[in-house]
A and B are shown apart, each in its own frame.
Chain A
Amino acid sequence: MTTPADRHLLAMHRSEAAVSVELQTEDMVLNIGPQHPSTHGVLRLVATVAGERVRSVQPVMGYMHRGYEKLAEVRTYAQITALVNRIDWVSGFANEIPFIVAAERLMGVEAPERAQHIRLILTEMFRISNHLIFLCSFPAELGAPTPLMYALRERERVLDLIEGVTGGRFHPNFNRIGGVKPAAGGGSTQRTRVQDLPKGFIEGTRRAMTAVRHVCDDLENLVLGNEIVQQRTIGIGVLPADKAVEYAMSGPNLRASGVPFDLRKVEDYLPYDRFDFDVVTMPNGDNYDRCRVRLEEIRQSARIIEQAVDSLPGGPLQTKVPRVIKVPKGECYVRAENPKGEMGYHIVSGGGRRPYRVKIRSASFCNLQVLPWLLEGALIPDVIAILGSLDFVLGDVDR
């Protein structure tokens, strides 16, 4: 099948070939970033370009390296959750989960059912928030600012719910070893009588999920149905399944290449096995499919949240843990399906109040490794499109 994009590319190839016959061209080094708005922070790409086409790309990182692995060694387990919130700041809460579960496993405690369900609901809300941000920022990078308004409006509803439960919008720091923050339902600002979810949370969630489904339909028409977006995405930045695995892509980027792998289905860090949801995959692995996967995942997350609020178990939010958290010697790795891919922490405890070593496996760092391969031979305008379609955050790359 020849898509319009294919024909477009073919025409480009022809005109380029014609030019290089007539003119002597030479390669040029083009610096993209570190301050370029499309680099989601401070990523620098050193691209060698021949005319409009990229010959090779060398990503340069470290402009935002904050040394979290070192900082984690001087903080107590309770303090580290505040730190890890800021790794991928678009999905703050989801970063806490694998860390706290790993620490709990080392200590041999397990959060009560109700706390686990609340964790799950909040994680999925952050997934919705993350994917909505992607679906509005990606078209903005392609030159279409309108979807921004639609997606951010509905994201605000989700953030309001998160704020109602945790007291924070981006960095809730809501998990405690053995459960969630006991004074939920007002956050730390109100010394509250309510010890649980705020009043009206469940109804509010149902309404918000309906709104999220609506905005998904809108975005599907507005973004994926847009002919210009299609021209910029279909058949561009194609990542076949074998390459995706070879470069250790994870999360939606992997599933967009047709690999049906979702850690929510194979790991048991949260009780996902109690809910029905589909692992969304797309066949082509191009920019367009990476968008479609995320759009569809919002719907699946809404589905999970609706089931979870319907079957929210009662009971306490915290199990009994010692006042001073000391973690026995040992090491443990827990990974979770974060909005951006596999996120995990390998905690080595020396028996003290602070971990001896914490290795942070962040999704964006690993997902970016494919860039030199993916961008080779791309057109310069497509570099921005391909980069945007990978959905990364520099805090998650540099840590």
Chain B
Amino acid sequence: MSEPEPPATPVPDPETPSAETPPSRAAHWAALVGSAEWADVFRTSKVRVPRERWVEAHRALQPHLPFFAWLSVIDWSNEVAVGDPLEGDPVEERCEVISRLSDVSAGEAVILSTDLPPDDLTIDSLAGVYTAADWHEREAADMFGITFVGHPNPVRIYLSEGFVGHPLRKSYPLLSREVKPWPGAVEVTPLPAAEGAPGEGKEGGA
């Protein structure tokens, strides 16, 4: 790893190669929130914080990065109902919650990330620190079934009342595909008769 020496002892994300952009902004933000895990890849700084310190970390960054750009969730799963599975070794199954904070002058920004175990998808709400987190958390609750403790208005934002399931989870099938096969079926599943790797080398089937 060719990253510059940060103030805290870093444990760079082993999955991602480090980019050479000294001095590392990720290290700077990591020191501010007191985290030792950070990465600076593809010009995106990412700092990992434990779930217990999620709100606290945001409070520490709020004076520097007052703009709450978005909140997202990644459902790390080895079994996927739709789409391509992860390549390589199996991952630890978890929901990763990430938030993006930035400023409105110099273009500084950081992504904070934390992990939730699949059997306990609860996390403290950020709405008390960042007003703008409100709708994003409601969206994440809809789409991934995450409970945001202390959210001021925990009602559905996109899905109708009575909707079952959390559509953006990797275990949730794409219903339109279940009902009617994709016209370019070769894109979705290899045909049983076809040998080799069907779909490879062909970008068709809009």
CB-based contact B132/A82 at 8 Å = no
CB-based contact B69/A361 at 8 Å = yes
A65: interface (CB < 8 Å): yes
A190: interface (CB < 8 Å): no
CA distance A352 to B197 in the complex (A): 14
CB-based contact A267/B107 at 8 Å = yes
Which residue of chain B has the shortest Cβ distance to A79 in the bound complex?
B206
CB-based contact B168/A333 at 8 Å = no
Q: B194 contacts which chain A residues (CB < 8 A)?
A: none
Q: How many A-B residue pairs have CB under 8 A?
A: 132
User: Which of B44, B83, B135 is the one whose CB lies under 8 Å from A74?
Assistant: B83
CB-based contact B200/A62 at 8 Å = no
Which residue of chain B has the shortest Cβ distance to A65 in the bound complex?
B158
Q: How far is the CB of B56 from chain A (nearest CB, A)?
A: 20
CA distance A342 to B132 in the complex (A): 14
CA distance A105 to B43 in the complex (A): 9
A window 233-268: CB within 8 A of B: 245-248, 250, 254, 259, 261, 263, 265-267
B201: interface (CB < 8 Å): yes
Q: Is the interface of B mostly helix, strand, loop or mixed?
A: loop
Q: How far is the CB of B35 from chain A (nearest CB, A)?
A: 18
CB-based contact B16/A266 at 8 Å = no
CB-based contact A259/B41 at 8 Å = no
B117: interface (CB < 8 Å): no
B111: interface (CB < 8 Å): yes
Which residue of chain A has the shortest Cβ distance to B68 in the bound complex?
A248
CA distance A342 to B66 in the complex (A): 15
Q: How far is the CB of A282 from chain B (nearest CB, A)?
A: 15
CB-based contact B16/A330 at 8 Å = yes
Q: Is the interface of A mostly helix, strand, loop or mixed?
A: mixed
Q: A261 contacts which chain B residues (CB < 8 A)?
A: 104-105
Q: B75 contacts which chain A residues (CB < 8 A)?
A: 357
A294: interface (CB < 8 Å): no
User: Which of B83, B100, B143 is the one whose CB lies under 8 Å from A354?
Assistant: B83
* 0/1 interface trace, chain A 58-93, chain B, CB 8 Å (1 if under): 000110010101110110101100100000000000
A window 343-392: CB within 8 A of B: 344, 346, 348, 350-357, 359, 361, 365-366, 369
Q: A355 contacts which chain B residues (CB < 8 A)?
A: 83
Q: How far is the CB of A1 from chain B (nearest CB, A)?
A: 28
User: Which of A62, A323, A329, A369 is the one whose CB lies under 8 Å from B201?
Assistant: A323
Q: B69 contacts which chain A residues (CB < 8 A)?
A: 248, 335, 342, 344, 361, 366
Which residue of chain A has the shortest Cβ distance to B159 in the bound complex?
A62
Interface size class of chain B, counting residues whose CB lies under 8 Å from the partner chain: 35 or more
Q: B203 contacts which chain A residues (CB < 8 A)?
A: 76, 78-79, 323-325
User: Which of A325, A344, A365 is the one whose CB lies under 8 Å from B135?
Assistant: A365
CA distance A61 to B160 in the complex (A): 10
CA distance A61 to B16 in the complex (A): 37
User: Which of B70, B157, B158, B160 is the one whose CB lies under 8 Å from A359?
Assistant: B70
CB-based contact A359/B159 at 8 Å = no
B195: interface (CB < 8 Å): no
CB-based contact B135/A348 at 8 Å = no
Q: Which one of A248, A355, A369 has the highest number of Cβ atoms from chain B below 10 Å of its Cβ?
A: A248
CB-based contact A329/B157 at 8 Å = no
CA distance A67 to B173 in the complex (A): 12
CA distance A325 to B88 in the complex (A): 18
CB-based contact A333/B44 at 8 Å = yes
CA distance A243 to B193 in the complex (A): 61
By Cβ-Cβ distance, the 10 closest A-B pairs, closest first, are A266-B107, A352-B84, A351-B87, A248-B132, A62-B158, A359-B72, A73-B83, A332-B42, A350-B86, A261-B104
A selection of 26 A-B contacts at a CB cut-off of 8 Å is A62-B158, A70-B82, A74-B177, A76-B187, A76-B203, A78-B203, A246-B66, A246-B132, A265-B107, A325-B203, A329-B15, A330-B15, A330-B41, A333-B100, A335-B69, A346-B70, A346-B98, A351-B87, A352-B85, A354-B83, A356-B83, A361-B100, A365-B135, A366-B135, A369-B135, A398-B158
Besides A333-B44, A335-B69, A348-B74, 6 new A-B residue pairs in contact (Cβ under 8 A), listed by A number = A70-B172, A248-B130, A266-B107, A332-B43, A344-B69, A355-B83
